[in-house]
Amino acid sequence: MWKENAAKYGYEVVTYEEYAPRSTDYSDIILKAKAAGAEALFTVPSPPDGLAIQKQMAELGWTPKFTLMIRAPENVSWSETLGATGAM
Protein backbone atom coordinates (compact mmCIF):
# COMPACT_ATOMS: atom_id res chain seq x y z
CA MET A 1 0.00 0.00 0.00
CA TRP A 2 2.72 2.50 0.94
CA LYS A 3 4.83 1.79 -2.12
CA GLU A 4 1.91 2.13 -4.52
CA ASN A 5 0.61 5.40 -3.04
CA ALA A 6 3.83 7.24 -2.15
CA ALA A 7 4.21 9.30 -5.33
CA LYS A 8 0.54 10.30 -5.31
CA TYR A 9 1.12 11.99 -1.94
CA GLY A 10 4.49 13.53 -2.77
CA TYR A 11 6.80 10.90 -1.28
CA GLU A 12 9.59 8.89 -2.86
CA VAL A 13 10.30 5.27 -1.98
CA VAL A 14 14.12 5.08 -2.03
CA THR A 15 14.30 1.39 -1.19
CA TYR A 16 11.78 -1.42 -0.82
CA GLU A 17 13.07 -4.61 0.76
CA GLU A 18 11.65 -7.94 1.87
CA TYR A 19 13.13 -10.58 4.17
CA ALA A 20 12.36 -14.11 5.26
CA PRO A 21 10.55 -14.23 8.62
CA ARG A 22 12.81 -15.19 11.54
CA SER A 23 15.92 -13.96 9.78
CA THR A 24 18.78 -13.04 12.06
CA ASP A 25 20.72 -10.55 9.96
CA TYR A 26 18.98 -7.44 8.65
CA SER A 27 22.17 -5.43 8.14
CA ASP A 28 22.03 -5.53 4.33
CA ILE A 29 18.50 -4.07 4.31
CA ILE A 30 19.35 -1.48 6.95
CA LEU A 31 22.54 -0.38 5.21
CA LYS A 32 20.69 -0.04 1.87
CA ALA A 33 18.10 2.21 3.50
CA LYS A 34 20.78 4.24 5.26
CA ALA A 35 22.83 4.63 2.04
CA ALA A 36 19.72 5.66 0.11
CA GLY A 37 19.05 8.44 2.61
CA ALA A 38 15.75 6.96 3.75
CA GLU A 39 14.15 9.27 6.29
CA ALA A 40 11.26 6.98 7.22
CA LEU A 41 10.72 3.28 7.89
CA PHE A 42 7.37 1.59 7.38
CA THR A 43 7.29 -2.08 8.39
CA VAL A 44 5.05 -4.78 9.86
CA PRO A 45 7.39 -7.39 11.39
CA SER A 46 6.60 -10.04 13.96
CA PRO A 47 7.88 -9.28 17.49
CA PRO A 48 11.10 -11.33 17.18
CA ASP A 49 11.92 -9.79 13.80
CA GLY A 50 11.09 -6.29 14.99
CA LEU A 51 13.31 -6.63 18.05
CA ALA A 52 16.22 -7.79 15.89
CA ILE A 53 15.65 -5.04 13.31
CA GLN A 54 15.53 -2.31 15.98
CA LYS A 55 18.69 -3.60 17.68
CA GLN A 56 20.58 -3.77 14.40
CA MET A 57 19.40 -0.31 13.34
CA ALA A 58 20.90 1.06 16.57
CA GLU A 59 24.13 -0.89 16.08
CA LEU A 60 24.48 0.37 12.50
CA GLY A 61 23.60 3.95 13.39
CA TRP A 62 20.48 4.31 11.26
CA THR A 63 17.88 6.41 13.00
CA PRO A 64 15.24 7.52 10.50
CA LYS A 65 13.28 10.66 11.28
CA PHE A 66 10.09 8.59 11.38
CA THR A 67 9.44 4.91 12.06
CA LEU A 68 6.10 3.19 11.79
CA MET A 69 6.59 -0.36 12.99
CA ILE A 70 3.26 -2.13 13.38
CA ARG A 71 2.81 -5.40 15.30
CA ALA A 72 6.32 -5.92 16.74
CA PRO A 73 6.24 -3.21 19.45
CA GLU A 74 2.83 -4.28 20.69
CA ASN A 75 4.46 -6.99 22.78
CA VAL A 76 5.47 -6.34 26.42
CA SER A 77 8.92 -7.73 25.71
CA TRP A 78 9.64 -4.76 23.40
CA SER A 79 10.49 -2.26 26.14
CA GLU A 80 11.89 -4.93 28.46
CA THR A 81 14.27 -6.22 25.79
CA LEU A 82 15.26 -2.98 24.09
CA GLY A 83 15.17 -0.42 26.88
CA ALA A 84 16.08 3.04 25.53
CA THR A 85 16.77 1.63 22.06
CA GLY A 86 13.10 0.67 21.77
CA ALA A 87 12.02 4.24 22.36
CA MET A 88 13.80 5.48 19.23
Distance CA 49, CA 21 (A): 7
Domain residue spans in the chain? Answer: 2-87
Which pTM value belongs to this model? 0.80
Distance CA 41, CA 17 (A): 11
Distance CA 88, CA 59 (A): 13
Phi–psi pair at 42, nearest 5 degrees: -120, 120
pLDDT by residue (tens digit) across 35-59? 999 999 999 999 889 989 999 999 9
pLDDT of amino acid 8: 95
Q: What percent of the chain shows pLDDT beyond 90? A: 67
Residues forming a β-bridge with 67: 41
Q: By C-alpha distance, which of 66, 70, 86 is closest to 78?
A: 86
